[in-house]
Structure 1
Amino acid sequence: MNAAVKPDPGIAATAPAQAIEDLVADAMRVCGLPAEDAQRVGKLMAEADLTGADGHGIFRLPQYVRRLKGGAVNPTPRIEVERAAPGVALVDGDNGMGHLVMSVAADTATAIAREIGIAWVGVRRSNHAGPAALYVDMLAQRGLVGIYSVVASSNHMAPWGGTSSLLGTNPLAIAIPAGEGKPPVLLDIATTVVSYGTVKKHVLNDVPMPEGWLVSRKDGSAITDPKRSGEGLLLPIGGHKGSGLALMLGLLAGTLNAAAFGSEVIDFNADSTSETNTGHFLVALDVARFMPPAAFAAVLQRQLDELRHDAPLPGTDGVRIPGDRRAVLREARIRDGVPIPPPLRRQLDELATTLGIEPLAARQS
């Protein structure tokens, strides 16, 4: 079959966020997580789907289960926090689910920032924790600026000019609170042109990829066939600048925390038995240390309105502030449900049968 003509993956039926949360929580409990921890993971994974991070929500459940069942992840971690300095803390995740480890990191960052105005929290011995946006959003909802990065849980990019997969998609997320009841200004970007989770969605649905995402490590030619994705390297945003940004974020999230970086990174897509020692960092900044939060929100709103009302450049949809699409998607998916493509639904049904829990469809009545 021609690579440009692929089977239609079918219409994605929707599922309520609560059904997704409960399916994940039940799967986590079967894998040994305590009930409260299992529900917490379910809630955060459902939130990823609600806000459009489809490659980091329930899509990841089969992979998480494989790693828990394979002994790669500790279902009952003893997460420890060390206050290393007034504004610095280190979190040791004891190889627990990343969502749980980063929830502790966010709570720690919040407490320190409210105490002294700013916090830097480093994390080691964690795991994949879903989209970066989750954790800066937590801080923004508490009136704090949040900045986050992580060493991605697999390497799919070469250092600029190289051919070896030594860098990950190492994301950068920043959230700025916009006032009571308003979604934050929130930027969440991979340092590659596209996240590898998006590539995996194309593989699952057998849909061609655009040129400019992946190139062959052998000759640099474009790869668009999802079946050949394993042969390629993801390209960085902005050429050498994106590669440099991924490197620097990786050193701060990995090396500085005695966590994995470079060739030390375990590919959690292919390995279901090894600890990844994933490193993250989270920075929190208290807006109230600069001006009253309500005054800041008013100034911010005026400036955002000015940006939004700029005359659209011909051929574009006009100005979109970081976080706008996320907020619109969340509202729509709370109302209409989360799209679940047929290939993913089949995977989830098979997983539910294997684990002896109710499938997604049975949770939607």
Structure 2
Amino acid sequence: MTKRLGISVTPMQRFQSFATSQATYYGLIEAQIAGELVPPGLGYDAEGQETTDPKEMLGGAIKVFGGHKGSGLAMIVQILAGPLVGAAFFDTGNDNAGNVVCGINPEFFAGKDRLMEDVSAMGQQVKSSRKAPDVSDILMPGERSNAHYQNVIGAGALEIEDGLWSELQKKAEHRNA
């Protein structure tokens, strides 16, 4: 299992969190419970053969994103949120999932005001880029998930598939045992 990388630019109230793998662990669990296959190219079975079966992939390996460059970033994130803080990495039997938080004070660099101006200009430039013919809106990273989050908060509930909920409860009971 790979660690997640989360980055927040507080003045912009933006938070981006993503797995450093082609598929998330719980995404594979969800597909397995639903009896669904996953798209090709996400991972391998225990013999190192590509598979679209999430159960086989969970017993094998999930590919990192971004090829060899992505594997370097994934390894650094794994080190920061694993061995650095005494947490689990790969299959060590350690139940500590691991987290590390680093803070950067922009005042030591360009300054908070300059950061806010430049990040805002950067976002405006990206949003105003020329769109492909079939694209109606350019979304910033995290924009779609932030909108989903707001919808869930507004509804006051998050729908979870019954099989997934059952498996999550089993995992929680196993951790607390």
Same-fold status (TM-score > 0.5): yes
* Structure 1 residues 191 and 291: CA distance shift in structure 2, 3 A: closer
Aligned mates of 1:278, 1:216 — CA distance in 2: 23
What is the CA deviation profile of residues 310-360 of structure 1, one whole-angstrom value per residue up to 9, with x for unaligned ones? Answer: 111244455321221222112211223322223345x39x88xx9xxxxxx
Aligned mates of 1:231, 1:292 — CA distance in 2: 47
Q: What SS does the corresponding residue of 1:285 show, helix, strand or coil?
A: coil
Could you tell me whether the CA contact under 8 Å between 1:178 and 1:297 is conserved in 2? yes
Residue 167 of structure 2 is aligned to residue 338 of structure 1 = no
Give the aligned partner of residue 202 of structure 1.
31
Q: How far 1:292 moved relative to its partner?
A: 5.9
Higher strand share goes to which structure?
1
Higher helix share goes to which structure?
2
Aligned mates of 1:261, 1:231 — CA distance in 2: 16
* Structure 1 residues 281 and 187: CA distance shift in structure 2, 3 A: same
Give the aligned partner of residue 106 of structure 2.
287
Match of 2:132 among 293, 313, 316: 313
Could you tell me whether the CA contact under 8 Å between 1:216 and 1:233 is conserved in 2? yes
Give the aligned partner of residue 252 of structure 1.
80
Q: Which amino acid aligns with 1:331?
A: Q
Q: How far 1:209 moved relative to its partner?
A: 0.9
Q: How far 1:177 moved relative to its partner?
A: 2.1
Aligned mates of 2:54, 2:77 — CA distance in 1: 28
Aligned Cα root-mean-square deviation (Å): 3.0
Q: How far 1:244 moved relative to its partner?
A: 2.3
| TM-score, normalised with respect to structure 1 | 0.40
**Alignment identity in percent?**
23
What is the aligned length? 169
Residue 10 of structure 2 is aligned to residue 190 of structure 1 = no
Q: What SS does the corresponding residue of 2:123 show, helix, strand or coil?
A: helix
Could you tell me whether the CA contact under 8 Å between 1:311 and 1:318 is conserved in 2? no
What is the CA deviation profile of residues 74-132 of structure 1, one whole-angstrom value per residue up to 9, with x for unaligned ones? Answer: xxxxxxxxxxxxxxxxxxxxxxxxxxxxxxxxxxxxxxxxxxxxxxxxxxxxxxxxxxx
Aligned mates of 1:237, 1:188 — CA distance in 2: 14
* Structure 1 residues 175 and 207: CA distance shift in structure 2, 3 A: same
Q: Which amino acid aligns with 1:333?
A: V
Q: How far 1:169 moved relative to its partner?
A: 1.4
